[in-house]
């Protein structure tokens, strides 16, 4: 399993873990139906597309088990998968309130469209309007550290 992304806050990391574990638990019983349509080549393409474009990535994913893959936006796919993640967590005995608390952070990111990388790019671009790239990088590092220290989820961060 690929390691989960870190940060920017513990709450964000917990949300990422809940989303992943919930999906694994929900999809595992039907995995044989999903695998034929989703090749390693598709997974590799999806990985690099998501790494480059984040929520704006176009991914190849089957509409249902046993179906051929089709292109879908990463944000739309994640929105469609949230109920599966919740069901997987509940099937493992996770309290509904706990599952919702974590998955609501994922939903917030999807609604607002702000992830840690999106926030960093915005802050960097804003800083470049008044300073050089070196100083803009320092602004990003300083404000990222400050913003992550208080535990507020990344989708709720504003611009400094």
Cis peptide bond N-terminal to 94, omega within 30: no
Cα-based distances in Å from 59 to 31, 54, 112, 121 = 18, 10, 20, 22
Residue 51 has pLDDT above 70, yes or no: yes
Pick from 101, 89, 102: nearest CA to 21 = 89
72 forms beta bridges with 59
pLDDT (mean) for 11-23: 95
CB 75 within 8 A of CB 110: yes
pLDDT (mean) for 116-125: 94
Provide the token pair at 108: 């917030």
Residue 154 has pLDDT above 70, yes or no: yes
pLDDT (mean) for 136-160: 91
Cα-based distances in Å from 153 to 26, 89, 140, 150 = 25, 21, 17, 9
Residue 2 has pLDDT above 70, yes or no: no
Residue 33 has pLDDT above 90, yes or no: no
CA distance 113 to 68: 28
Residue 67 has pLDDT above 90, yes or no: no
Residue pLDDT, tens place only, 82-117 = 999 999 999 999 999 999 999 999 999 999 999 999
């Amino acid at each position: 399993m690929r390691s989960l992304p870190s940060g920017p806050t513990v709450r964000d990391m917990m949300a990422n873990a809940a989303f992943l574990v919930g999906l694994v638990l929900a999809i595992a019983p039907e995995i044989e139906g999903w695998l034929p349509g989703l090749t390693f080549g598709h997974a590799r393409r999806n990985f690099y597309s998501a790494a480059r474009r984040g929520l704006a990535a176009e991914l190849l994913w089957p509409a249902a088990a046993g179906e051929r893959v089709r292109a879908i936006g990463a944000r739309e796919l994640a929105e469609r998968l949230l109920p599966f993640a919740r069901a997987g967590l509940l099937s493992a005995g996770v309290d509904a309130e706990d599952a919702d608390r974590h998955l609501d952070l994922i939903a917030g990111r999807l609604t607002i469209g702000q992830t840690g990388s999106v926030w960093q790019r915005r802050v960097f671009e804003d800083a470049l309007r008044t300073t050089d790239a070196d100083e803009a990088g320092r602004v990003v590092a300083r404000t990222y550290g400050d913003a992550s220290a208080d535990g507020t989820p990344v989708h709720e961060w504003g611009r400094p």
